[in-house]
């Protein structure tokens, strides 16, 4: 088993440059197969999910390659793509593989895909995606974990989402981009990653209006062509490093971000007394100050992102007083709390709420990452703990945090990997 090991207590300072958004990239790559000529995604994040999506493009008969002197560009060439069922292998490793449902339905009017994988955060159905595809004219069959959809033709429709699901909004947008007529998605998700995808599709020749609002209007088109696209910065990676700096750093500049995407986080941290200076495309955090506990409640964008509650739980272990974090999006996204308690935290989990009794000093321990952002919360705890912390299930962390050792070492952390007998 591979472990990430961290010797805590180092004084961290310097600059960390944030990568492009994972949750945008994983939608852009499947959408790119609708183009009849190559699509170049600039500044691709060097994360495992990109490799897996590339493997799926290969399974379909398409091609992808890294380009640029730093491999920063990712080129998808969908000539040669055939409608091959994606039933096993990479498709089971990440939830975003389900974006190929919308892309292959739009491209071939038929698709067969194994149910997606990804982090366990509580039940994660895809009923809203399938409702959208049916509204566009597809028949949907599910059997033994395989989804099979077919449509004589895809016709625009008015689709109301019972919940503003990010994934369903994205998947329906992709499928509707080549449907006949107009599709209106009501109660659509407003996350920045949806705007980023809309920009890519429109630059490919699609006709999408209203992304970022609760109502998105898609006028289907016959053909989509290749283009170049610069992916937006990763607001969740940025928020993770902001929480990390508040907990563990003297002074750190988090660079290459869009502060507007992090307004909810920044205002809550200021409420805690975190010293955070907001600049045009960066923030500077002066950490390790006396901060006071506040209550957090996650919600849909532009509210506080559920993906940031786990790093924030770790920060609250250092704050004065008792903080409560309620996750209104996922029902079971507090497994990191039990690992943090092994390091000296004092956290109770009651339903969808974690109650953190702050002001605790943390000590190194062997802990396990239970999902991607849980891994991030353990990394932050390890940086402030006395002694060495060993984090298992490192694959979770590598799915969303590119070059984490390099970034943290550059700030002065002592972090390394070791392989041990399981």
Give me the DSSP letters along 78-90.
Answer: -TT-----B-SGG
In this chain, which of 54, 102, 137, 167 binds ligand EPZ, going by CB under 6 A?
167
Give me the DSSP letters along 31-94.
Answer: HHTTBSS-EEEES----HHHHHHHHHHHHTT-EEEEESTTS-EEEEE-TT-----B-SGGGGT-
Strand 296-297 with 347-350, pairing: unpaired
Strands (E) in 103-248, as ranges, are 110-114, 139-143, 146-150, 158-160, 182-186, 207-209, 215-219, 228-230
6, 383 Cβ separation under 8 angstroms: yes
Catalytic residue of the set 28, 113, 119, 415: 119
Least distance between ligand EPZ and beta carbon 373 (Å): 5
Based on the shown chain and the rule CB under 6 A, indicate whether residue 240 belongs to the binding site for ligand EPZ: no
CB nearer ligand EPZ, residue 80 or residue 125: 125
Q: Where does this chain touch ligand EPZ (CB under 6 A) — which range of 39-47, 50-58, 119-127, 278-286?
A: 119-127
Nearest to 134 by CA among 125, 147, 115: 147
Q: Cβ-closest residue to ligand EPZ?
A: 167
Active-site residue, 337 included: no
Based on the shown chain and the rule CB under 6 A, indicate whether residue 52 belongs to the binding site for ligand EPZ: no
Based on the shown chain and the rule CB under 6 A, indicate whether residue 415 belongs to the binding site for ligand EPZ: no
In this chain, which of 10, 52, 107, 129 binds ligand EPZ, going by CB under 6 A?
129
Site for ligand EPZ in 262-281 (CB under 6 A): none
Strand 207-209 with 215-219, pairing: antiparallel
Least distance between ligand EPZ and beta carbon 153 (Å): 24
Based on the shown chain and the rule CB under 6 A, indicate whether residue 96 belongs to the binding site for ligand EPZ: yes
Nearest to 311 by CA among 290, 327, 289: 327
Based on the shown chain and the rule CB under 6 A, indicate whether residue 198 belongs to the binding site for ligand EPZ: no
Nearest to 58 by CA among 74, 73, 77: 77
Based on the shown chain and the rule CB under 6 A, indicate whether residue 128 belongs to the binding site for ligand EPZ: yes
First to last CA, the chain: 5
Q: How many residues bind ligand EPZ (CB under 6 A)?
A: 26
Based on the shown chain and the rule CB under 6 A, indicate whether residue 124 belongs to the binding site for ligand EPZ: yes
Least distance between ligand EPZ and beta carbon 94 (Å): 7
Q: Which residues are catalytic?
A: 119
Which stretches of the chain bind ligand EPZ, using CB under 6 A?
A: 23, 26, 95-96, 119, 123-129, 163, 165-168, 189, 236, 306-307, 329-330, 372-373, 400
């Amino acid at each position: 088993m591979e472990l990430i090991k961290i010797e805590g207590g180092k004084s961290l300072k310097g600059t960390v440059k944030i990568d492009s958004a994972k949750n945008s990239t994983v939608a852009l790559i499947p959408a790119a197969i609708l183009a009849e000529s190559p699509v170049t995604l600039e500044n691709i994040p060097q994360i495992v999910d990109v490799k897996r999506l590339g493997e799926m493009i290969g399974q379909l008969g398409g091609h992808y390659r890294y380009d640029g002197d730093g491999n920063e560009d990712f080129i998808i060439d969908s000539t040669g793509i055939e409608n091959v069922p994606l039933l096993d292998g990479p498709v089971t490793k990440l939830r975003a593989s389900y974006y190929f449902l919308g892309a292959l339905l739009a491209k071939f009017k038929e698709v067969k895909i194994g149910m997606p994988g990804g982090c366990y955060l509580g039940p994660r159905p895809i009923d809203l995606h399938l409702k959208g595809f049916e509204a566009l004219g597809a028949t949907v069959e599910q059997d033994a974990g395989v989804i099979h959809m077919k449509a004589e033709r895809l016709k625009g429709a008015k689709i109301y989402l019972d919940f503003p699901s990010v994934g369903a909004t994205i998947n329906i947008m992709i499928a509707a981009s080549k449907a006949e007529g107009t599709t209106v998605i009501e109660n659509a998700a407003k996350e920045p990653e949806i705007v980023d995808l809309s920009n890519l599709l429109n630059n490919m020749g699609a006709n999408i209006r209203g992304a970022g609002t609760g109502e998105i209007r898609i006028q289907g088109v016959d053909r989509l062509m290749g283009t170049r696209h610069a992916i937006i910065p990763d607001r969740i990676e940025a928020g993770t490093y902001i929480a990390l700096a508040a907990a563990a750093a003297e002074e750190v500049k988090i660079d290459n971000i869009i502060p507007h995407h992090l307004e909810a986080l920044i205002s809550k941290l200021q409420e805690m007394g975190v010293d955070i200076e907001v600049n045009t495309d960066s923030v500077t955090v002066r950490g390790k100050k006396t901060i006071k506990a506040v209550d957090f409640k996650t919600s849909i964008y532009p509210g506080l992102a559920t993906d940031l509650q786990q790093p924030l739980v770790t920060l609250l272990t250092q704050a004065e007083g008792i903080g409560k974090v309620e996750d209104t999006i996922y029902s079971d996204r507090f497994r990191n709390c039990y690992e943090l308690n092994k390091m000296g935290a004092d956290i109770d989990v009651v339903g969808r709420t974690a109650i953190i009794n702050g002001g605790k000093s943390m000590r190194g321990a062997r802990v396990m990452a239970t999902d991607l952002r849980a891994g991030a919360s353990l990394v932050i705890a390890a940086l402030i703990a006395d002694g060495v912390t060993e984090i298992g299930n490192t694959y979770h962390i590598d799915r969303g945090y590119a070059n984490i050792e390099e970034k943290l070492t550059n700030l002065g952390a002592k972090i390394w990997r070791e392989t041990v007998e399981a």
